[in-house]
Amino acid sequence: MVNRIRGRRWSDQTLLPMRTTRQLFNTVSCWYCDFKFSTFNEPLFRFGRRHSRSLRVWFSMGIGFSLAALFGVTVIMVCEFVRAAFVYTGNNSLGDSLSLLGLSSLIAGLNISLPSMGYLIVSSVICVIVHEFGHALAAASEGVPLEYIAVFWAVLFPVCNLALLLLPFILSPFYVHGRNPMVLDVPSTSPLSGYLSPYDVIYSVDDIRIHTPQEWKQTIILLTQKARSSSYYYSGISNVRRGYCVPRFLSGVSIHLELEMNQTAICPSELVAFAPVICGGAHEETKSIIYCLDAKDVVKLKKCGYYGNVRYPTNQIDCHLCTEIESCLAPVQQLGQGWIEITYSSPQCKHETKTSLFSDEKHSIRSEGENGCLQSFVFIGDLISMAHSIHLTSYQPRFSIYFGTHLPNLLEKFLTCSFHVSLLLALLNSLPVYFLDGECILEETLNYFRFLSSKMKQMILRLWLLLGTFISIFFVVQSIFVVVS
């Protein structure tokens, strides 16, 4: 009788009770600190049971990603470990070979600004919270009641990328996306300081329409590469074979001198050196006439020389000629410098009736109903550093209110950083290391190899975890050493 009563009492108890029978305490120790709460136990359990089929499909996709991440981080760890061993012995041939395959060194020091640190911390907190709710939903979908929730989250991994892609649509009632990049800030150290101001809109670079900040940087890089490939040189000086139709009376009154092979073009500081562009690829071998002209007057003239599509170059490029009373002159550039013409619109011009420097038919960059005026200036110098010296955004406010101009840029940075952090956390959590999810993933994967005995599976699991833990500790120590040194 006693045994029956005990048996009945024992059978009425559940392995995991629906409600916790003990008071939850927050834990703080030298290893970690956590915050436990049970407020969402019932809602999450009901939601998980109601949508268990959909959640199982979702988490099955997560298992596939986890296996791929486990394999990927294992390959990266082994490659980095072998690379470090070769570098230590003084042989960097393997490192060069891995770089050709796209596996560049993962340890490059610490280079992060204070605002980026803020984005990183906030993104990490959100990703951790989402990951823990993901564990709760996974347990609820399998019918396992919740005891408490600790702060960690992972369902946001694909959601951040989706939100980033849908951000232009979400903000479309208030912002226009992808029309032209707008200037957010021009630091005083930027070479464009004094030429561009906040809220200016960049329309084109050398007649190439610009839509986004990415196109701005890519176009500058392509223009730099094309200038190097389509230039001829005078003793360290490069003459770009695309120029302007300068009237002969203007070039005649300008300063001109003979440029020998061992001579450098010298013009007054307010003038720029120009050289003739000869169609057909012919030019004088030993000398050429150099004209010193005012760039502000030259950029207003008709263009000539060799032109083609910079983004889709072709070998069949026509040479546009000038009239008989004009000369085709191109700027002479020193090596390492470039010449580009930037066309932009300033918000101060919107309510003024200024005439654009260029016609709409020629540039096709003014939208219908737009009242902004186009202005242009020429930049001569290091194009790559210039392109990265200003802060641009793809979003323009639909109304003439610039109060929330920085909001889309902040949201874009936040979502991008959250996506990268969640991806990094997912990869780190998949490492074959003790006490991480990679240990459970590896253990469950080994269970599918039924031809292995239990003892063999345990031996493989321990060996793999020991190796993964050792390599991870090695990289942590190496990273700390690189940052400190």
pLDDT at position 483: 60
Confidence of residue 246 (pLDDT cuts 50, 70, 90): confident
- pTM score, whole prediction: 0.54
- Marked catalytic residue, from 42, 80, 132, 444: 132
Of 344, 393, 347, 371, nearest to 205 by C-alpha is: 344
- 8 Å CB contact between 258 and 287: yes
| C-alpha atoms less than 13 angstroms from C-alpha of 416 in its C-beta half-sphere | 7
Of 418, 420, 441, 433, nearest to 476 by C-alpha is: 433
**Higher pLDDT among residues 461 and 1, named by residue:** 461
Q: Assess whether pLDDT exceeds 50 at residue 49.
A: yes
pLDDT at position 380: 80
Q: Assess whether pLDDT exceeds 70 at residue 201.
A: yes
Q: Assess whether pLDDT exceeds 90 at residue 207.
A: no
pLDDT at position 41: 75
Confidence of residue 21 (pLDDT cuts 50, 70, 90): very low
The answer for residues whose C-beta is within 8 angstroms of residue 193's C-beta and 6 or more apart is 186, 187
In 10 A of CB 273, how many CB atoms?
23
Q: Assess whether pLDDT exceeds 70 at residue 154.
A: no
Confidence of residue 9 (pLDDT cuts 50, 70, 90): very low
Q: Assess whether pLDDT exceeds 50 at residue 316.
A: no
**Higher pLDDT among residues 369 and 461, named by residue:** 461
pLDDT in tens, 55-101: 877 777 776 776 676 676 667 666 766 666 665 565 555 555 544 44
Mean of all residue pLDDT scores within the chain: 69
3-state secondary structure the chain: CHHHHHHHHHHHCCCCCCCCCCCCCCEECCCCEECEECCCHHHHHHHHHHCHHHHHHHHHHHHHHHHHHHHHHHHHHHHHHHHHHHHHCCCCHHHHHHHHCCCCCCCCCCCCCHHHHHHHHHHHHHHHHHHHHHHHHHHHHCCCCCCCEECEEECHHHHHHHHHHHHHHHCCCCEEEEEEEEEEECCCCCCCECCECCCCEEEEECCEECCCHHHHHHHHHHHHHHHHHCEEEECCEEEECEEEEEEHHHHHHCEEEEECCCCCCCCCCCCEEEEECCCCCCCCCCCEEEEEECHHHHCCCCEEEECCCCCCCCCCCCEECCCCCEEEEEEEEECCCEEEEEEEECHHHCCCCCCCCCCHHHHCCCCCCCCCCEEEEEEEECHHHHHCCCEEEEEEECCCCCCCCCHHHHHHHHHHHHHHHHHHHHHHHCCCCCCCHHHHHHHHHHHCCCCCCHHHHHHHHHHHHHHHHHHHHHHHHHHHHHHHC
Q: Assess whether pLDDT exceeds 60 at residue 25.
A: no
pLDDT in tens, 388-427: 899 999 999 988 777 788 888 888 888 887 777 777 777 7
Confidence of residue 216 (pLDDT cuts 50, 70, 90): very high
pLDDT mean over 328-334: 76
- 8 Å CB contact between 376 and 299: yes
Please state, for a pLDDT cut of 70, what percent of the chain lies above it: 56
The alpha carbon of 466 is separated from its chain's Cα centroid by a whole number of angstroms, namely 36
Q: Assess whether pLDDT exceeds 80 at residue 289.
A: no
pLDDT in tens, 106-142: 444 444 555 665 666 666 667 667 766 777 777 777 7
pLDDT in tens, 336-366: 677 888 989 887 765 454 433 333 333 333 3
Cα angle: 9, vertex 12, 13; to 5 degrees: 100
How far is Cα 306 from Cα 213, in angstroms, rounded to an integer? Answer: 27
pLDDT at position 326: 84
pLDDT mean over 322-339: 77
Q: Assess whether pLDDT exceeds 90 at residue 202.
A: yes
**Higher pLDDT among residues 166 and 75, named by residue:** 166
370 is catalytic: no
